[in-house]
Amino acid sequence: MSISMTVNGKAVTLDADPQMPLLWALREDLQLTGTKFGCGMALCGACTVHLDGQPVRSCQTPLEAAAGKKITTIEGVGATPAGRAVQHAWLKIDVPQCGYCQSGQIMSACALLAGKKKPTDADIDGAMSGNVCRCGTYNQIRAAIHDASATLAKGG
Amino acid sequence: MSTISPGRRALLKGGAALTVSFALPLAATRAALAQPGAASSNTFAPNAWLRITPDNKVTVVCGSAEMGQGVLTAIPMMVAEELDADWALVSVEQAPADAAYNNPMFGMQATGGSTTVRAHWTPVRQAGAAARQMLVAAAAQQWQVDAASLRTERGQVLGPNGRKASYGSLVAAAAKQPVPDKPALKDRKQFRIMGKPTRRLDSAAKINGTAKFGIDAHVDGLLVAVMARAPIAGAKPKAFDEGKAKAIKGVRKVIAIPSGVAVLADGYWAAKQGRDALGIEWDLGAHADLSSQKVSAVLDDGLQNATAIAREAGNVKDGSANAARSLSAQYDVPYLAHAAMEPLNCLAWVKGDEVTIWAGTQSQGPAQGILSQVASVTPAKVKVNTMLLGGGFGRRFAPDFTIDATLLSKLSGSPVKLVYAREDDMAAGYYRPTSRVRFEAGLDDKGRPLALRADVATSSIMAASGFMKIPESGVDSFAVEGLADHPYEIPNQRIAYGRAEPGPQVWFWRSVGHSQNAFFVESFIDELAHAAKADPLKYRLSLLEKHPRARGVLMLAAEKAGWSRPLPKGRHRGIAVAESFGTWVAEVAEVSVAKDGGIRVHRVTAAVDCGQIVNPQTISRQIEGAIVYGLSAALYGRITFKDGKVEQSNFHDYPVLRMNEMPKVDVHIVQSDEPPGGIGEPGTPPIAPAVANAIFAATGKRLRALPFDGEALKQA
């Protein structure tokens, strides 16, 4: 079945099982491998992408649910003001260790900041607790979100 | 191009007595030539570890695997320091599998045991120093001056009268210089790069999605394999429905191999659906009735047979007989999964007599040998592309995923990317062993320990490893590390090991035996302190007269945590200290326990003495991360068995610490001239006992098993 959507600003059409999770369409059909497979059950957040601006776990989002929608992945999020500020803050704080979860962390953080310019620690707990990091970079992630928030408040 | 000049080869061959770093250039020739562009006459590649090009760029080649612990930054810092490179012009690339990169502590190319920095401390710095000396010699020759009159700074040779030459301008001339046999190394006070908090060289790629992990490897025409893996060692498939799997669109092949049945498909989704459709039934073999109760019974048998003596001093019976007071306690820890973020995977391509793999593996060197046997080729024909590891924690030291991918490629004739579903990663075995210890201690009338007896029962990682053997003493060193060599001064001791093999495959898990033995020792010492009515910090210090580094980290952590200052109502502290991998770490945990038994860790203050250091930022982050890893295990981690199968499958029933539970963490580093210790693992051991001791301070209840049982803390 043919499914069309916009990925990082580009129109794409895929001929694939509509029930296949969006994750595999991104990673295998489009070779956008920045989005990661972690658990396959929406438990770890490694596969987080934006669907019309909302964060979703792409491992549990059937491809058909993305039809006609705008998808943003880690490869494209830097084109948005929040994405730019978040990636800059991540680099400044030097957040990653193994780095595997960081695409998902960044996508969740960008979605948080898009909706809430100045998140509190409780907001961060609420928005980020679905993203697991086994290296334990949570405190650096928190610091980077506050840093990005300050950058955005200054007009990016 | 200098690396293959006959003169140098002769020199090196003649230098058989030279140190290990000078065994490097021979093999380096092969490694350096394997790099694209390296063989051009414009490259100065004096050894396996670095290349300098006329554009002044320095490329450091790292033979260790990057799993988050920062080796792709630490090794370049070590080379760049002695080279006096301009850090802004330094980049890093991953080495191929090549004997040039053997880990001197292992004698093979492998990453683990928190060894990278300490194993390569001398040879890698010598590699940088040798290159620097050759660049200086080249400048001296060009300027017709004495080399001793020259110095180096930020990628330049500086001479008299303001003369300067960039390293890039000297590459051709430097390549003609002899390799010095004993390049001098800097003193710590001369360090310009090492010792300063330095950002990682791999961060940018990990932030913009371009970083390539094993699971991201791709070659055209690959098939993705998902396997139904044997649920326990020794299980064999009894029946499966190949037709149902093949009926899934995209499924190409179903192949049975010794470890299970693989479904090969055009993509992961089809392969996973095909695997699930197999409806596989297992003959579980000898462990069909394995249960947590049975595991416990096997541990008890192990305790009964704890006869392999790991440490004996004085006479524990006499010591006990003279004791004014005695205590005994039993402690338990469960099996644990590693649960790295990136599920295990490997892309393998067996083509004729050549094998190529793309894998996040901690053991590139062994992989060459093992896979050459799997594919019946010579080891030199096995090419290992080391990808980034989405977490290792010891699990990626194991060969199962590279073996199976290679076998599947050989049998299918296609490149095969084997991907473990999370459930396979968690349930397919290779666990931190369960362990049980029984302590008996006798205290004198002042509360000082006169005697300590400890019997410990656990599985042998040495025997399970496939590359080690239990020594004649019968003591598996991983089973007793941190227990038999605990630092406390006790005149009469007997510490013994009883091997217990309930069945599951055991393996190295971040900090290995220390992960449980620090919990045992540091909790029991806390019990002794309580029995002696002593402050837990002072009690420890009184028994550590001979261990200044232990005292140092204890006092530093206590001071920074405000040990002697009162806490807000409801908050309580616990302290623990442990040495592992040549590094001392003390941690103070600040904890509250809710009425419903909920445990909250608010803050952890750590002090670390890891000897001389490379990158303090990495040290802080590794200690913090190791605390989180240990805390996940202490609060939640538990692999259990029922009817021969693992009961956990994913992050819902094997929970790990999340953002909303994350404590504040402060890490304090002791300035030291001691030899470097490891840093990837030593932060893990002290956290479970520090929290256990804080829970005791909060509730008066001693939790002697992990994960902590909140039910036991519930207030009526």
Note whether B206 contacts A142, CB cutoff 8 Å.
Answer: no
Enumerate the residues of chain B whose CB falls inside 8 A of the CB of residue A140.
621
Note whether A17 contacts B249, CB cutoff 8 Å.
Answer: yes
User: Residue B476: which residues within 8 A CB-CB, separation 6 or more?
Assistant: B458, B460, B461, B462, B463, B470, B497, B499
User: Residue A147: which residues within 8 A CB-CB, separation 6 or more?
Assistant: A89, A92, A93
Q: Which of A34, A126, A137 has its CB closest to that of B210?
A: A34
Note whether B658 contacts A101, CB cutoff 8 Å.
Answer: no
Average pLDDT, chain B: 93
- Residue identified by tokens 């055209």 is B220
Strand-pair partners of B438: B330, B455
Q: What is the pTM of this model?
A: 0.94
Note whether A136 contacts B215, CB cutoff 8 Å.
Answer: no
Inter-residue contact B618 to B70 (CB < 8 Å): yes
Q: Which of B204, B626, B657 has its CB closest to that of A91?
A: B204
Q: B378 is written with which tokens?
A: 């010579």
Residue B23, pLDDT score: 29
Q: Is B649 on the interface with A (CB under 8 A)?
A: no
Q: Is B629 on the interface with A (CB under 8 A)?
A: yes
Q: Is B212 on the interface with A (CB under 8 A)?
A: yes
Average pLDDT, chain A: 97
| Separation between Cα atoms, residue B113 and residue B581, nearest integer Å | 7
Residue B716, pLDDT score: 74
Beta strands in B314-425 (DSSP E): 325-333, 345-351, 354-359, 382-386, 416-419
Among chain A residues, the shortest Cα distance to B221 is held by: A28
Shortest Cα distance, chain A CAs vs residue B44, angstroms: 31
ipTM of the complex model:
0.98
Q: How confident is the model over B387-411, as a mean pLDDT? A: 97
Q: Are strands B664-669 and B50-52 parallel, antiparallel or unpaired?
A: unpaired
Note whether B202 contacts A43, CB cutoff 8 Å.
Answer: no
Chain segment A8-46, per-residue pLDDT in tens: 999 999 999 999 999 999 999 999 999 999 999 999 999
Residue A156, pLDDT score: 66
Q: Which of A100, A129, A140 has its CB closest to that of B213?
A: A100
Domain extents in chain A: 2-72, 77-153
Query: Do B6-206 and B214-284+344-419 agree at the fold level?
Result: yes
Domain A2-72 class, CATH top level = alpha beta
Q: Is B625 on the interface with A (CB under 8 A)?
A: yes
Note whether B621 contacts A140, CB cutoff 8 Å.
Answer: yes
How confident is residue B254, by pLDDT bands cut at 50, 70 and 90?
Answer: very high
Cβ count near B144 (within 10 Å): 6
Chain segment B517-557, per-residue pLDDT in tens: 999 999 999 999 999 999 999 999 999 999 999 999 999 99
Q: Is B389 on the interface with A (CB under 8 A)?
A: yes
Q: How confident is the model over B279-296, as a mean pLDDT? A: 94
Helix-, strand-, coil-residue percentages of chain A, each rounded to 5: 45, 15, 40
Q: Give the up-direction half-sphere exposure of residue B321: CA atoms within 13 A in the CB hemisphere.
A: 5
pLDDT higher than threshold 70 for residue B357: yes
Q: Are strands B50-52 and B58-62 parallel, antiparallel or unpaired?
A: antiparallel
Chain segment B88-104, per-residue pLDDT in tens: 999 999 999 999 999 99
User: Residue A140: which residues within 8 A CB-CB, separation 6 or more?
Assistant: A93, A94, A95, B621
pLDDT higher than threshold 50 for residue B25: no
Note whether B68 contacts A24, CB cutoff 8 Å.
Answer: no
Note whether A136 contacts B393, CB cutoff 8 Å.
Answer: no
Residue B99, pLDDT score: 92
Q: How confident is the model over B669-690, as a mean pLDDT? A: 97
pLDDT higher than threshold 70 for residue B12: no
**Helical axes B616-635 vs B687-699, angle rounded to 10°:** 50
Q: Is A119 on the interface with B (CB under 8 A)?
A: no
Note whether A128 contacts B659, CB cutoff 8 Å.
Answer: yes
Residue B41, pLDDT score: 62
Q: Is A134 on the interface with B (CB under 8 A)?
A: yes
Q: Does domain B214-284+344-419 have CATH number 3.60.9.10?
A: no
Inter-residue contact B79 to B183 (CB < 8 Å): no
Q: Is B657 on the interface with A (CB under 8 A)?
A: yes
Helix (H) or strand (E) holding A77: none
Q: Is B421 on the interface with A (CB under 8 A)?
A: yes
Enumerate the residues of chain A whose CB falls inside 8 A of the CB of residue B665.
139
DSSP secondary structure code for residue B342 in this structure: S
pLDDT higher than threshold 60 for residue B21: no
pLDDT higher than threshold 60 for residue B29: no
Domain extents in chain B: 6-206, 214-284+344-419, 292-335+431-713
Q: Does domain B6-206 have CATH number 3.40.50.880?
A: no
Among chain A residues, the shortest Cα distance to B360 is held by: A98
Shortest Cα distance, chain B CAs vs residue A82, angstroms: 14
Q: CATH homologous superfamily of domain A77-153? A: [2Fe-2S]-binding domain (1.10.150.120)
User: Residue B591: which residues within 8 A CB-CB, separation 6 or more?
Assistant: B571, B572, B573, B574, B599, B600, B601, B602, B691, B694, B695, B697, B698
CATH code for B292-335+431-713?
3.30.365.10
Q: Is B342 on the interface with A (CB under 8 A)?
A: yes
Q: Is A98 on the interface with B (CB under 8 A)?
A: yes
Nearest C-alpha neighbor of B343 from the set B391, B385, B388: B391
Chain segment B121-153, per-residue pLDDT in tens: 999 999 999 999 999 999 999 999 999 999 999
Note whether A41 contacts B204, CB cutoff 8 Å.
Answer: no
